[in-house]
Structure 1
Amino acid sequence: MLINFTNHPSKNWSKEQISAGMKYGNIHDLPFPTVDPGQDENYICELAQVYTDEIITLKPRAVLCQGEFSLAFAVVKKLKEQGIIVLSATSQRVAVEEKNKDGTVNKTAYFKFVNFRKYGG
């Protein structure tokens, strides 16, 4: 199983990303929590332990972990210590510009999934 521990539900993933995720088994969404920016490192450590414990009980083959940086870092570290594969999604930014009649330009950015990359170390 691949646990999708992000704010991006797998139902909204591209076919390519779903296919890449299915290499680890079924995809299980576990929403990344909102992190109170006013809290300290102890709060992050406690929250990381709660989510790490929950993830471990699901016995994943791999975990896609992306979200608020300090919590994501703490969870990645704890999961790797347990021998669990932890991934990030890589993407290519594609920008499309459209010139309006009044001379202004609208710019829209799209992110195209490329692959999953293991956290190093």
Structure 2
Amino acid sequence: MIHNTIVTVAEKNPDFRRVLWTGKHLQLVVMTIPPGGEIGDEVHEHADQILTFVSGAGEARVAGEKREIVRSSQIVVPAGTRHNFVNTGQNPLVLYTIYSPPLHADQAVHRTKEEADAAEAAGADKPPTR
């Protein structure tokens, strides 16, 4: 059994992206976006994503629509949908997200967005094949 107090785990995460658990069909990841930062404009062709925001303030940009993000906001991003999440506040924007199927390397830790982008570009951030 894997048991987390997910809000506490997410709030204690200092890293841009940290993969907590990877299963055959889904993956649990925590993220911390610094003030003025963003996840980056992207499309996951084959993965659905659910993001739950635990602290901070920001803006969701999904399929051409914009919405304010506050604590307890939850956004669903279907596979193939362009999206970005931007920290518009003065504190970190903290969230946990579930990908289905997994999108990142198991147990991956990327301290910054730049580190995450470099790992993806180098092909070092691929989910395990099952």
Task: Give the structure-1-normalised TM-score.
Answer: 0.25
Name whichever structure is richer in strand by fraction: 2
Name whichever structure is richer in helix by fraction: 1
Greater Rg over alpha carbons, structure: 1
Task: Give the structure-2-normalised TM-score.
Answer: 0.24
Work out which structure has the larger RCO, using CA pairs closer than 8 Å and 6 or more positions apart in sequence: 2
